[in-house]
Amino acid sequence: MKIGVFDSGIGGRAVAKRLSELLPDAEIICVDDHEHVPYGSRPEEEIIQLTDTAIHPLIDAKCDAIVIACNTVTTVAITHLRTEYPDMNFVGIEPMVKPAATQTKSGVIAVLATPVTLASHSYKLLKETWAEGVIVLEPDTTSWASLIEAGKADEVPIEETVFQLIEQNVDIIVLACTHYHWLKERAVTEAGSRALVLEPSDAIGSRIISLLGSESV
């Protein structure tokens, strides 16, 4: 079974790494758009057009499913992709607002995402639907994807950010940009038992199994 993974940059590889552990027999092909990353502050129309061009190798490879391992692209472009390529199974990701809002005990959660994701209509809808009465903090992480892409993840102040969020009573932190999956270990270490760090790789694996059947992957 062939699974394509698309992201603007190396966030896709973090997701692919976990998928290859969950689905060891699947062939996983990763494609990114290194030339144009980051996408997270670009106009929506441009993100749609860049994605449509960059994703072609995966369409041509006749993947059984393509994971859009990018919150930003899922948010603004997945409807377009599904219309453009109606025979393809697209698996998108979205910020884990629902599980965070369901599990919080303090009533304060944090979502770490790109400016485009945070400003999107679909994210607003997620909050309205699932997080009514929950305080959602959204710290500015605009520079993080570029730093991580440039191999400078150690310059991202994740410990400081997690510390400040916990000071504000946050008990669930959602990594809603796949680039930030590379910061997960550091975030979890800093959070200790005070906050839970969520990201969607395992949920993507389950979605693929339910879509394609466990035997085929």
Catalytic site residue 30? no
Task: Say if residue 38 is preceded by a cis peptide, omega within 30 of 0.
Answer: yes
Q: For ligand DGL, which stretch binds (CB under 6 A), given 24-32, 38-46, 57-65, 98-106?
A: 38-46
Q: Spot the catalytic one: 177, 187, 197, 208.
A: 177
Please tell me what DSSP assigns to residue 29.
Answer: E
Q: Which residue is nearest to ligand DGL (CB)?
A: 40
Closer to ligand DGL by CB, 4 or 166: give it: 4
Can you state the percent helix, strand and coil of the chain, rounding each to 5?
50, 15, 35
Number of residues that bind ligand DGL (CB under 6 A): 17
Q: Does 37 bind ligand DGL (CB under 6 A)?
A: yes
Helix and strand numbers (H, E) in the chain are 11, 8
Binding residues for ligand DGL restricted to 100-129, rule: CB under 6 A: 114, 117
Q: Spot the catalytic one: 66, 70, 91, 126.
A: 70
Q: Does 40 bind ligand DGL (CB under 6 A)?
A: yes
Catalytic site residue 177? yes
Q: Does 201 bind ligand DGL (CB under 6 A)?
A: no
- The residue whose two tokens read 């919150």 is 71
Nearest to 37 by CA among 4, 70, 80, 61: 70
Nearest to 173 by CA among 149, 141, 143: 141
Token duo for residue 66: 């393509």
Positions in the binding site for ligand DGL (CB under 6 A): 7-9, 11, 37-40, 70-72, 114, 117, 145, 177-179
Task: Name the residues annotated as catalytic.
Answer: 70, 177
